[in-house]
Amino acid sequence: MIRVLTTSHASELENAIRSSPSIEFGGRVELASEFAGDVLLVDAESLPESDWHSLAELAIPVLLLAPAADAGLAASAMRAGICGVILSDAPPAEIEAAVQAIHAGLVVIAPQFVQEPEPPTAEMPDPLSERELEVLDLVAEGLSNKLIAHRLNISEHTVKTHVASIFGKLGASTRTEAVSQAIRRGLVML
């Protein structure tokens, strides 16, 4: 049984938690108080975004309940170290699944918070070559230039050249930014 605490005073949320067979309502808490639980549900309306970083310092995973779908809000929450974001009016089954997932160490973002990717390479003035797409896929997997060279049976210098070309075509200055741009454009699926 997963013990869930909440900062919300919404009785609907409490009822949703109580109706779940696998999670237990541990009560409402103030963030400054000491508490024991497995997951903390935080109502986004009760805590300003500027205070979200303090949630990452807690010893338990945090699920943010947002009043409306906003991809920017979800991105800010993830940067602050929050483990999951769902709508505050989510059905009990969705709340239960999100609680179980973040308790298991996973990250949860409700589909409503995910932006649609930008259209594929057709809009790029200089599309990536087949080899650049291969290199980009391996960069997205987190491989170093040396490992990419070994995997593709090319020199490390050639990999560096492809990576520089990818950066230029995607308007990126780091590997993370290149992968992020590629995901938005539908070039890479993770």
| Max mean pLDDT range (1-10, 120-129, 131-140) | 131-140
Residue range 157-185, pLDDT digits in tens: 999 999 999 999 988 888 888 888 888 88
Superfamily classification of domain 2-113? Response regulator (3.40.50.2300)
Q: Which of 116, 119, 122, 149 is closest to 134 using CA atoms?
A: 149
Chain-centre distance for alpha carbon 103: 15
What percentage of the chain carries pLDDT values higher than 90? 20
Which residue would you say has higher pLDDT here, 51 or 34? 51
Q: What pLDDT is stored for residue 163 in this prediction?
A: 92
Q: What pLDDT is stored for residue 59 in this prediction?
A: 76
What are the start and end residues of each CATH 1.10.10.10 domain in the chain? 121-184
Residue 89 in tokens: 């009016």
Output phi, psi for 117, to 5 deg: -65, 155
Q: Element (H or E) spanning 59, and its range?
A: none
Supply the angle between the helices 156-170 and 175-184 in degrees, to the nearest 10: 50
User: How many other CB atoms are there within 10 angstroms of residue 164's CB atom?
Assistant: 10
Q: pLDDT band at residue 123, thresholds of 50, 70 and 90?
A: low
**150: pLDDT strictly greater than 90:** yes
What percentage of the chain carries pLDDT values higher than 70? 88
Least reliable range by pLDDT among 29-38, 136-145, 150-159, 173-182: 29-38
What are the start and end residues of each CATH 3.40.50.2300 domain in the chain? 2-113
* Mean predicted lDDT score pLDDT of the chain: 82
**Mean pLDDT within 28-34:** 63
**Mean pLDDT within 128-147:** 92
Residue range 46-92, pLDDT digits in tens: 777 777 777 767 778 888 888 887 777 778 888 778 888 898 888 88
**121: pLDDT strictly greater than 50:** no
**119: pLDDT strictly greater than 60:** no
Residue 21 in tokens: 């067979």
CATH topology of domain 121-184: Arc Repressor Mutant, subunit A (1.10.10)
**132: pLDDT strictly greater than 80:** yes
Rounded to 5°, the CA angle 25-48-91 comes to 40
Sign, CA dihedral 6-73-68-102, equals: negative
